[in-house]
Amino acid sequence: MKIDLHCHSTCSDGTYAPAEVVQRAHAAGVNVLALTDHDTLAGIDEASETAKACNIQLINGVEISCEHTLTGGYGKNKSTNKIIHVLGLDFADREKMHKTLQQLQDSRASRGQQMTEKLSALLEVSYDELWQAILDKAGGNPQAVGRAHIGQVLFEHGHVKTVQKAFDKYLADNKPAYVAIEALTMEHGIELIHACGGKAVLAHPTRYQLSATRVRKLIEEFAQLGGDGCELPASSEPVSTRKMVDRSIAEHNLVASIGSDFHGSNMPWRRLGDVPKLNPEQQGIWQSFATLS
């Protein structure tokens, strides 16, 4: 079975509609797929229809932005606030999940506008023109606006040499145009997923610009708060990184999850079905999915 439990559509910051994401997953030989758009379930029905036609098992999925304060550093770095992404997988109560996430979605629209305001001042460009370009990039949906859309527009308009430079200079946490997102705490995110009958997975633990010590601490705290699984690092990451995450997963009795974090043409290096392999001793989160039993 080929499994991919992390991907995005135009309902958040992906470049392909939900139906096309499923079609592309089918073409890549994926059998079990979770569409995990940021803080929204808007694409699941469309994806589900196509999944039936393609004979793909679609798992209910979402990627929730959660606030978490990591402790245990030294001096001025004693604690750090981070937005941590938690995947909700195989939940049954979509209505409860939707209602809670809608409040977060409403805050996303104003966040995108606030970041655009900051950028228009920093770059000395028209706010209206910049916001319209960003809105176009997000398919006209202000609630779908994410930093990936903004970075793409900055690159296309020649304000930065690469999309990554847009993050490095303006959009990453604590950079001049950054605006914090309204979020659940990580604890409440896990509780919400469980209350809806799903499994909570820590997404891409090595992509939060944390030291190795802090990555291990994050995995430990996620497990202590009742998290179920941890996503394995991409195959492109160093072997030493994978080994570190493997050790933490084992130490804290978590199961493993795998996903490409596919976004489409704005991150072409992430391909559907291109996921890391489990070690023989690891258990996959999907082994406990009600949908697959």
Q: What is the CATH number of the domain that holds 226?
A: 3.20.20.140
Mean pLDDT for all residues in the chain: 93
Q: Is 217 a member of any domain?
A: yes
Residues 45, 80, single domain; the answer is yes
Residues 219, 253, single domain; the answer is: yes
- What range does the domain containing 126 cover? 111-171
Q: What size, in residues, is the chain?
A: 293
Residues 163 and 43 in one domain: no
Within the chain, what is the greatest distance between any pair of CA atoms?
57
CA atoms within 13 A on the CB side of 44: 22
Whole-number pLDDT of residue 72: 65
Range 180-190 average pLDDT:
90
- Whether residue 42 contacts residue 10, with contact meaning beta carbons closer than 8 Å, is answered with no
Do 59 and 289 form a contact (C-beta atoms < 8 A)? yes
Query: Does residue 48 fall inside a structural domain?
Result: yes
Q: How confident is the model at residue 143 (pLDDT cuts 50, 70, 90)?
A: confident
Residue 46 to residue 219: CA distance in whole angstroms: 33
Check pLDDT > 80 for residue 121.
Answer: yes
* Residue 159 scores a pLDDT above 90: yes
Where does the pLDDT of residue 5 fall: very low under 50, low under 70, confident under 90, or very high at 90 and above?
Answer: very high
Token code pair at residue 258: 């795998």
Q: Which SS3 state, helix, strand or coil, does residue 144 take? A: helix
203 and 257 in one domain? Answer: yes
Say if residue 204 is in the same domain as residue 235. Answer: yes
State the pLDDT at residue 60.
98
283: pLDDT strictly greater than 60: yes
Q: Following DSSP, what letter does each residue of 98-140 receive, concatenated? A: HHHHHHHHHHHHHHHHHHHHHHHHHHT--HHHHHHHHHHHTTT
Domain assignment present for residue 242? The answer is yes
Q: What is the pLDDT of residue 227?
A: 98
| Band of pLDDT at residue 73, cut at 50, 70 and 90 | low
pLDDT band at residue 20, thresholds of 50, 70 and 90?
very high
Closest CA to 9 of 141, 152, 200: 141
Q: Are residues 97 and 194 in the same domain?
A: yes
Residue 176 domain flag: no
Residue 293 domain-assigned (yes or no): no
Residues 147 and 19 in one domain: no
Residues 86 and 200 in one domain: yes
Q: Is residue 264 part of a domain?
A: yes
pTM comes to 0.79
Q: Residue 143 in contact with residue 105, Cβ under 8 Å?
A: yes
pLDDT in tens, 209-242: 999 999 999 999 999 999 999 999 999 999 999 9
- Tell me, what's the pLDDT at 259? 97
pLDDT of 179: 92
Tell whether the model's pLDDT for residue 6 goes beyond 90: yes
User: Which band of pLDDT confidence, cut at 50, 70 and 90, is reported for residue 79?
Assistant: confident
Q: Are residues 91 and 218 in the same domain?
A: yes
Pairing of strands 184-185, 61-71: parallel
Instruction: Name the token pair of 43.
Output: 């694409």
Query: Where is pLDDT greater, at 78 or 172?
Result: 172
Q: Are residues 279 and 185 in the same domain?
A: yes
Contact 63, 85 (CB under 8 A): yes
Give domain status of residue 260, yes or no.
yes
CA distance 244 to 77: 22
Residues 201 and 69 in one domain: yes
pLDDT in tens, 96-120: 999 999 887 777 778 999 999 999 9
Q: What's the pLDDT score for residue 77? A: 60
Average pLDDT over residues 28-49: 96
Q: Which amino acid is at 227?
A: G
The last residue of a domain, from among 138, 171, 204: 171
The reported pLDDT for the residue numbered 74 is 59
Buried/exposed code over 146-157 (b: 16+ C-beta within 10 A; e: otherwise): bbbbbbbbbbee
pLDDT surpasses 60 at 265? yes
Whether residue 146 is found in the same domain as residue 245? no
Q: How many domains does the chain have?
A: 2
Q: pLDDT at position 173, please?
A: 85
The whole-angstrom separation of Cα 5 and Cα 258 is 6
The pLDDT of residue 271: 94
The tokens describing 249, both together, are 């997963």
Q: How far apart are CA 1 and CA 191, in angstroms?
A: 30
